[in-house]
Amino acid sequence: MAIRCQVNNLRCGDIVVMHGSHGCADATGYVVDTNPDTWDDPAVLIQFMGPDTDRMPLHYYHHELDDYLESGEIRIQHA
């Protein structure tokens, strides 16, 4: 049985592709850390690849990524 691409089962190493808009290229990143702690909403850190890879990973709450996934703005590839 295939695992459905979901935000709530993101793990380190999973790939997240944010689709470019208005002529921008897609941005590909990978999950480098997860925050399953109960004191805060579930979240992940995503390190994007490309010319600006010296930047720190970006923090996304699961509910933000759920919205992006539902609207087709991102694609998730589980490792």
Is residue 57 situated within a structural domain?
A: yes
Is residue 61 situated within a structural domain?
A: yes
The token pair at 36 is 């399953």
Determine the Cα–Cα distance for residues 67 and 79; give it in Å rounded to an integer: 21
Amino acid at 70: E
The number of distinct structural domains making up the chain is: 1
Using only C-alpha atoms, what is the Rg of the chain? 13
Is residue 5 situated within a structural domain?
A: no
Is residue 1 predicted with pLDDT exceeding 50? no
How much is the average pLDDT of 38-65? 86
Is residue 3 situated within a structural domain?
A: no
Reported confidence tier of residue 14, pLDDT bands at 50, 70, 90: very high
What is the edge-to-edge ordering of all strands in the sheet holding 74-77?
A: 58-61, 43-48, 27-35, 15-18, 74-77
